Amino acid sequence: MDWMSPNSRPHSTLSQLGRTNHVTEFVPRMNVSNSPYSTAAFQSLAKKFEEQDHLTSVPEPVMQSSSHSTSPISHDKLNSSNGPVVPAYHENVGGTTYFYQYHTAPEPNGESQQEQTPTSSSTEYTPYPGKSDNSLFMSDELRNDILNKNMLTLLQPDPSQYPNLPQEVDSYHELYPLEPISNQVLHKAHLGYQASMYKATHIKTGVHYCLRRIHSFRLQNTKFMSVVEMWKKLNHSNIVQLKEVFTTKAFGDNSMVFVYSYHPGSETLLNKHFSIDQPGYLDPFNNDKSTPMPYSYQKTNILRHQQNNKLPEPLIWNYIIQLTSALRLVHSNALACRSLDPTKIILTSKNRLRLSCLAVMDVVLHDSNSAINHLALVHHYQQEDLTALGKLVLALACKSTVAVQRENISTALDIVSRTYTVDLRNLIMYLLTNQRRSVTDLMPMIGARFYTQLDNLHNHVEILESELAKEVQNGRLFRLMSKLATINERPEFNMETTWSETGDRYMLKLFRDYVFHQVTEEGQSWLDMAHIVQCLNKLDIGAPEKICLMSRDEQSILVVSYAELKHCLEQSFHEVSSNSVLQQDLSELDEKIQ
């Protein structure tokens, strides 16, 4: 996996697919005898990065131990390295330590302080879209989102544009490239193998999937299949689930195909936050090397840029919670992600992250040497995952993929400590140390932010439920109208041309006019959605209320209750449906209307 600056990273046209790799193997190390949460520790870490010093002693375990705290609530002073003293306290509840930070006026309830920072532009951040309104229909935002996803799911490739696409690959057809297919050998993202992504439809089930094809892959043995089986069992809201892996010659080479669940309209994290395609995006660390500037000047520039463009801190924590949640499941199943890279994390809907390239590294780099201790190897890769997570958070906090390069790391950490809370800086520092780390150690660092996340999610679920409730009502009224429309103006029934104009049906015709065709005294059409909904609802329940129906020539007037109308509707519809060719479907509709 490589971290590629979007500036040098092509992704828009076929001809642009050549790419250069950035330094990726940065694994920072540090030797601190203090807690990593002190200023001294931070300075020491930054210095180590500058000196590229690789020391190996392991610092003390961090935070979560209940022995750290003798009283339930203890107060620390956490000094910002560059700013004023920032008071903070942590609370130990049942062995889990929650960190709170005050700013100016500390309040007894530290929770409300946690995500506030004087420089945080948290107002821009809305955790989930689509506020439910009082409209009778689904909100425009949600509807457009769903329609857009449906449209993307149903896209079909233009055969003239992709003449080399096979009609069928194993059990899949209707392949549609999700990115330009590169013919350039330089575009080798997966450890020297070229890769490409397709949307495809399962031939038998019609379900849509995402295929990741590794080109020209020579399979040495099938021992990796046990790992693939382990990956297939993982089901988590923050991972793209692996369905199957197979080899194929359908593309004209020996390709390896990984089948994942398909998430229409997804976007990589790199594209979302680090792409020059985003309006106004500029990597603050990407200086013009041809015009060297003093270091202090560069740093001031980065800081100024950072202040104006930084991501809201709650959003970064939101990402951290999701990624650690996925990693927790992966690691607890004796697996390692090995692809925690902004190109391999997708946003499948607003702010929802998923790890999108699981199992590929395990297969492509599978070592069948039985002498190797695979468990030890997995532990090693898990540690690498945590380092990759640290780099990712640092990159997000600096809005720069270049920030995680060795020569920039100390400036990047400094920027983070000036613009974000101490908690975020501490989390990054913990992840970037060379001590043995565990994803569960991150939970107390996230602390009460879990509650905020949970609250946001519950609110979002409530909004979706209320939107669903509207659609339940609309579905009910749609069925009622289908029934009415089946009867109204029917040209003939059972050889009887006046069927829809006589008896019960005549009342239903007048009712239809009453609901939909009312006019004002001046003869202008009178439209009122509330009137339509109210009438249909009363018909649906068979209300005893009476209404006055008038014929179009105004010669006859009928006073009838909704209950009587409902009876007419049921009788007439039953008559039609029982004589229908599609009897089964219509009686299903009949049942649903009851």
Ligand X SMILES: Nc1ncnc2c1ncn2[C@@H]1O[C@H](COP(=O)(O)OP(=O)(O)OP(=O)(O)O)[C@@H](O)[C@H]1O
**Binding residues vs ligand X (CB under 6 A):** 11, 178-179, 189, 195, 197, 210, 240, 260, 262-263, 266-268, 270, 343-344, 346, 356-357
Nearer to ligand X, 43 or 349 (CB): 349
- Report, in Å, the least distance between residue 333 CB and ligand X: 20
Q: Considering only CA atoms, which of 265, 255, 262, 257 is closest in space to residue 206?
A: 262
Tokens, residue 102: 């005050």
Q: Is 128 helix (H, G, I), strand (E, B) or coil?
A: coil
Residues 6+ apart with CB under 8 A from 374: none
Query: CA–CA separation, 30 vs 48, rounded Å?
Result: 6
Q: How many CB atoms are closer than 10 A to CB 322?
A: 21
Q: Residue 344 annotated as binding?
A: yes
Q: Is 435 helix (H, G, I), strand (E, B) or coil?
A: coil
DSSP codes, 509-560: HHHHHHHH--B-TTS-B---HHHHHHHHHHHHHT-S-EEEEE-TTS--EEEE
Tokens, residue 347: 């946003």
Q: Considering only CA atoms, which of 311, 310, 309 is closest in space to residue 319?
A: 311
- Report, in Å, the least distance between residue 201 CB and ligand X: 13
Query: CA–CA separation, 477 vs 290, rounded Å?
Result: 68
Q: Residue 212 annotated as binding?
A: yes
372 within 8 A of 296, measured Cβ to Cβ: no
Nearer to ligand X, 187 or 425 (CB): 187
Tokens, residue 566: 């409902």
- Report, in Å, the least distance between residue 276 CB and ligand X: 14
Nearer to ligand X, 340 or 443 (CB): 340
- Report, in Å, the least distance between residue 197 CB and ligand X: 4
- Report, in Å, the least distance between residue 317 CB and ligand X: 23
Nearer to ligand X, 316 or 346 (CB): 346
What is the number of the residue whose Cβ is closest to ligand X?
189
Distances (CA, A) of 134 to 139, 319, 353, 463, 534: 9, 31, 30, 11, 16
Phi and psi, residue 264, nearest 5°: -60, 145
- Report, in Å, the least distance between residue 267 CB and ligand X: 5
Q: Do β-strands 96-101 and 168-169 pair in parallel, antiparallel, or remain unpaired?
A: unpaired
Nearer to ligand X, 198 or 562 (CB): 198
- Report, in Å, the least distance between residue 271 CB and ligand X: 7
Q: Considering only CA atoms, which of 227, 182, 193, 177 is closest in space to residue 1?
A: 193
Nearer to ligand X, 198 or 573 (CB): 198
Nearer to ligand X, 356 or 410 (CB): 356
Angle at which helices 562-578 and 449-487 cross, to 10°? 80
- Report, in Å, the least distance between residue 15 CB and ligand X: 15
Q: DSSP H helical segments within 275-368, as ranges?
A: 295-309, 313-332, 360-364
Nearer to ligand X, 346 or 535 (CB): 346
Q: Residue 299 annotated as binding?
A: no
- Report, in Å, the least distance between residue 390 CB and ligand X: 21
Nearer to ligand X, 339 or 572 (CB): 339
Which residue bears the tokens 């565990």? Answer: 438
Q: Is 341 helix (H, G, I), strand (E, B) or coil?
A: coil
197 within 8 A of 332, measured Cβ to Cβ: no
Tokens, residue 487: 């009867």
Nearer to ligand X, 10 or 284 (CB): 10
- Report, in Å, the least distance between residue 270 CB and ligand X: 6
- Report, in Å, the least distance between residue 240 CB and ligand X: 4
- The CA radius of gyration of the chain, in Å to the nearest whole number, is 31
210 within 8 A of 198, measured Cβ to Cβ: yes
Nearer to ligand X, 231 or 511 (CB): 231
Tokens, residue 259: 């089948």
337 within 8 A of 355, measured Cβ to Cβ: yes
Residues belonging to the binding site are: 212, 343-344
Q: Which residues are annotated as a binding site for ATP?
A: 212, 343-344
